[in-house]
């Protein structure tokens, strides 16, 4: 028997379609994003989650609400699940940011964890996000599933930190599409990543490593 943490990215926003950095700006789901959340919630409800924990930003709150409506679970909210604080880059496209901070963006594009003016580093985001996963995991029994609703960049670095990968290994993991999720599972020998950027439920896998 395992216990599972499901990291679920919010649905689409208008800024997503425009390629604008959202960070902790409190953007809302667009019509497509609301439909994505409703569709994905139907699949995740089949996992019979025992709790829902969400970022307090509206796009995550409204995504979580779709799953709450199907499961009769009352979400709790934790600001540590927020997206990276990108500071003055928020609202900009990547090209706009490259024109303003060419050196910093070049280093970022090469994989360096750059601190932009007034912003968090990815390592700082990873630490706070992983702390939520650690706190939640300590309350879980085997057989339970908790869904955590968050944001793509924070989910990626936070999952890596939680399972013990250095932050720089984040580039080995693809970005999350809107309303896709990762599954972290513990079958008694520690937490590991079992599913990444999924939009459908996996079939059972029987292997010799269990």
Q: What's the pLDDT at 167?
A: 74
* Domains of the chain, each with CATH number or no CATH: 3-198 (3.40.50.1240)
Q: Is residue 109 packed enough to be buried (19+ CB in 10 Å), middle (13-18) or exposed (0-12)?
A: exposed
Q: What's the pLDDT at 204?
A: 52
Decide: 104 and 118 in contact? Cβ < 8 Å.
Answer: no
Tokens encoding 108: 């970022």
Catalytic option among 28, 66, 83, 90: 83
Tell me if residue 10 is catalytic.
Answer: yes
Neighbours of 209 (CB within 10 A): 7
Q: What's the pLDDT at 159?
A: 96
Q: Is the dihedral of CA 188, 189, 191, 192 positive or negative?
A: negative
Q: What's the pLDDT at 162?
A: 97
- Taking the whole predicted model, whether its pTM rises above 0.75 is answered as yes
Q: For the chain, list residues with pLDDT below 50.
A: 205-206
Residue found under tokens 């025992």:
50
**β-bridge mates for residue 28, sequence order:** none
Catalytic option among 10, 66, 104, 120: 10
């Amino acid at each position: 028997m395992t216990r599972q943490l499901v990291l679920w990215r919010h649905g689409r926003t208008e800024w997503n379609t425009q390629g604008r950095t959202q960070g902790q700006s409190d953007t809302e789901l667009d019509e497509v994003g609301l439909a994505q959340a409703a569709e994905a919630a139907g699949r995740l409800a089949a996992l019979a989650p025992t709790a829902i924990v969400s970022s307090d930003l509206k796009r995550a709150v409204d995504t979580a609400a779709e799953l709450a409506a199907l499961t009769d679970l009352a979400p709790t909210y934790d600001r540590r699940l927020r997206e990276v604080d990108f500071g003055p880059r928020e609202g900009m496209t990547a090209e706009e940011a490259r024109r303003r901070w060419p050196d910093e963006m070049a280093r970022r594009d090469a994989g360096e964890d750059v601190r932009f003016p007034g912003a968090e580093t990815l390592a700082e985001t990873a630490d706070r996000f992983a702390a939520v996963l650690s706190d939640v995991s300590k309350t879980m029994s085997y057989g339970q599933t908790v869904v955590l609703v968050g944001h793509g960049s924070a989910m990626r670095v936070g999952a890596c930190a939680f399972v013990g990968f250095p932050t720089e290994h984040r580039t080995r993991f693809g970005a999350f599409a809107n309303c896709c999720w990762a599954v972290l599972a513990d079958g008694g020998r520690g937490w590991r990543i079992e599913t990444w950027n999924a939009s459908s439920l996996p079939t059972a896998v029987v292997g010799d490593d269990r």
